[in-house]
Structure 1
Amino acid sequence: MLMFDHIGQHALLHITFSLFILVIVWWSLQSLKLEKLIWHPKSGRGMMLFILIAVAITHLVTSFFLEYLNQALNLRYLF
């Protein structure tokens, strides 16, 4: 039963942290001038590209920090 509690806590941490990072990435991308990169940034395709960029950056940043946390926690097995 204890193992399932740990898995649930890890999942909750991952979801919460991902949403937090998504908000930060979305806020940061608002300063990006899409008019210089995309012909029609307000179109459906332009907005979808913006969303996909935000999700991709969120995945990269979240994976980095959660992997760092995991490796830092595994350091206790070194000694």
Structure 2
Amino acid sequence: MNQDISSAVDSAVGVSGLISITVSLLCIALAWWALQTLKLDLVIRNPKSPQGRLLHVLLAVVLGRFVAEFLNDYLIWSQMIRYIF
């Protein structure tokens, strides 16, 4: 009986981790796509340089991570609603 519960918990944690990774990567990709329209040449001296491209990647990761964190929290909170009733 204990092994069944342990196996179910392990499986649920694994699926949750996989969903979190997928959501994070999708949000980073969406942030990268959205940042393509940003005119970085107004802020950066040479946006095509390696430093400019690195800044673009870092902005996409930071923005995508914030969005993914919100979506993951929302998913967890929505699953907790069933325990109200």
User: Which interval holds the TM-score relative to the shorter structure?
Assistant: over 0.9
Question: Which residue, 41, 45, 48 being the options, matches 1:42?
Answer: 48
Question: Which residue, 32, 38, 47 being the options, matches 2:38?
Answer: 32
In the alignment, is the contact (CA less than 8 A) between 2:29 and 2:60 conserved in 1? no
Q: Give the TM-score, by structure 1 length.
A: 0.93
For residues 59 and 19 of structure 1, the distance between their equivalents in structure 2, rounded to whole angstroms, comes to: 8
Q: Give the TM-score, by structure 2 length.
A: 0.87
- 1:7 Cα deviation (Å)? 0.9
User: Partner of 2:38: helix, strand, or coil?
Assistant: coil
Q: Over aligned residue pairs, what C-alpha RMSD do you find?
A: 0.9
Report how many residues are paired.
79
Q: Identity over the aligned pairs, expressed in percent?
A: 37
Aligned to 1:61: 67
| Structure 1 unaligned residues grouped into runs of 5+ | none
